Structure 1
């Protein structure tokens, strides 16, 4: 029998009649009329090709088929009831052992994930935080598929079915090796246009929306990049700039963090760039999930404790 053609309420009726051994008592238990129970039994008899219950004296006795079905029905309904009660159970952060996945670039992995991880382990000590790359997110369509709970990205990356909340603002700076022979305290337009650049493509598909944002700014201000090297992350770009004469553009916060560990200098762009706003994005399918909502609030709280962006 195809379950799609079966009204599952009929099985609940049969289970109740078998337990109560009476149509009237089953009707009272189910808060329906006796005729409704009788009609349901009639439909089941036709579907299963068996009388299921037959009159004996003043009561009903089950057929062999009904006797065989009874324990299976009871187990199935109890399991379903348990699943529904479990699904409705309140989310307890300190007790959950769920895995939560956050997608972000290595910029945020370097500069912000440690703060998120500290808050995560303090509030959900038994849970697991998984960080995935933007490439992994795109390869699996992670937000829509449910494999990723949230992503840190520009609002321009938000598509249909996505929600967004503001996270932080940052701005672009350039990094060069500490003893770069052609870059002084400031980076001139001429040097910017003539020197080789390290470009960053977070996705195998090519430049993303953040890349297009900065390219538009450069073009409007007479700046152009001669790209000599393309890397998949900000740390690789910084390492290349620290060991060659190439220059690289990075968000200020991660540039400041990396300059503490690499022989790098931070220099301003020839024209002050506008700050860019990053958001936390998540899918409609997890919008109402209590655990996912707690995780998003945790990320938002951890990120917003960073020092506010101060324009030059």
Structure 2
């Protein structure tokens, strides 16, 4: 029988981390311990409970039936203790907090959110710093698991249970072109889309493991093709047309320069088109076929659910989106004031 009074609770934290990571290396990185320390801790816990816990395989640490049986209640107990201590901690005071948040986002999200969000931070939380990492990195899910990224912003088709999410905004897409384009003042048809060269953004191709426009890593499937390719392909197929030419680029912010004095057109999210049109001489056109409205979500690790600073960060991002959506298209540079 296990003597709970003599059990080192730190061993349970290490067990929980290895259960989630299925790797001694990743668990050690997450806990800021050496691999040998994690291995010794598992050995001590195995001796304490009198049962084998993991089997080393070529694919990582495979939990035994006993480990699977105890993992869920132990994880819940650790979460409960963490929640209790979080509630007992002093309330979060953004005005006096010194903290750095690491956010994964692409250039589109950065362009529409960061200008206003940075102004908000400078006014109510001047001691908070932001580090923006590219959401295109192939180890995004692992970086969230290791707590090296506080949250990621993007479009996801599947999110594993250990990660939680919140809707930030919904968006559709439009066609943009130079104000001097032959079709700038015309209603666009699917024939026009086929007859003029088109620019689209893809953040990761098939060589990076993309399937149906999404890259799957450790249970997290994130968008790689930043437009509704399926809808475009169906519309062209139904019309019996093919695109004259297509330029695929890995980021959005090059698009306005590409469109200048060119017949090139581009498909971009509507919020970004509004941002571009305030700075560049562009025309925004509705697409001549129906597209799927997409979610832009915030994703974070469940361990940060009740962290006061993380809760504040997520709420401020949502408030920023509400402010941006309230700005009329004709407001020009009013949002900068």
Structure 2 length-normalised TM: 0.59
In the TM superposition, structure 1's runs of 4+ consecutive aligned residues that sit over 6 Å from their partners are 6-9
1:189 to partner: Cα distance: 1.0
1:309 to partner: Cα distance: 11
Q: Distance in 2 between matches of 1:139 and 1:281?
A: 11
Give the length in aligned residue pairs. Answer: 230
Q: Distance in 2 between matches of 1:243 and 1:145?
A: 46
Q: Which one has the largest radius of gyration?
A: 1
Question: Mapping of 1:67-82 within 5 angstroms?
Answer: none
Does the Cα contact within 8 Å between 1:238 and 1:248 map onto a contact in 2? no
Partner of 1:237: 255
- Over the aligned positions, Cα root-mean-square deviation in angstroms equals 3.1
Partner of 2:323: 305
Q: Distance in 1 between matches of 2:185 and 2:229?
A: 24
Partner of 1:103: 104
Partner of 1:219: 233
1:7 to partner: Cα distance: 7.2
Partner of 2:95: 94
Q: Distance in 1 between matches of 2:129 and 2:163?
A: 24
Structure 1, gaps ≥5 residues long: 1-5, 10-83
1:114 to partner: Cα distance: 1.4
SS of structure 2 residue aligned to 1:156: strand
Q: Distance in 2 between matches of 1:94 and 1:155?
A: 33
Question: Mapping of 1:260-279 within 5 angstroms?
Answer: 260-279=278-297
1:294 to partner: Cα distance: 1.7
Residues 134-173 of structure 1: per-residue CA shift (max 9 Å, x gap): 1247468332221211122124153342211111122211
Question: Mapping of 1:59-208 within 5 angstroms?
Answer: 88-136=89-137, 138=139, 141-156=142-157, 158-181=159-182, 184-203=185-204, 205=208, 207-208=213-214
1:200 to partner: Cα distance: 0.6
1:182 to partner: Cα distance: 5.4
Residues 257-302 of structure 1: per-residue CA shift (max 9 Å, x gap): 2122223211111124343221111112322322222211221222
Q: Distance in 2 between matches of 1:171 and 1:222?
A: 19
Q: Distance in 1 between matches of 2:140 and 2:224?
A: 19
1:191 to partner: Cα distance: 1.5
Q: Distance in 1 between matches of 2:188 and 2:139?
A: 35
Residues 67-125 of structure 1: per-residue CA shift (max 9 Å, x gap): xxxxxxxxxxxxxxxxx99x955433222211012222211211122122222223321
Structure 2, gaps ≥5 residues long: 1-5, 10-84, 215-222, 329-337
Residues 13-64 of structure 1: per-residue CA shift (max 9 Å, x gap): xxxxxxxxxxxxxxxxxxxxxxxxxxxxxxxxxxxxxxxxxxxxxxxxxxxx
Does the Cα contact within 8 Å between 2:104 and 2:135 map onto a contact in 1? yes
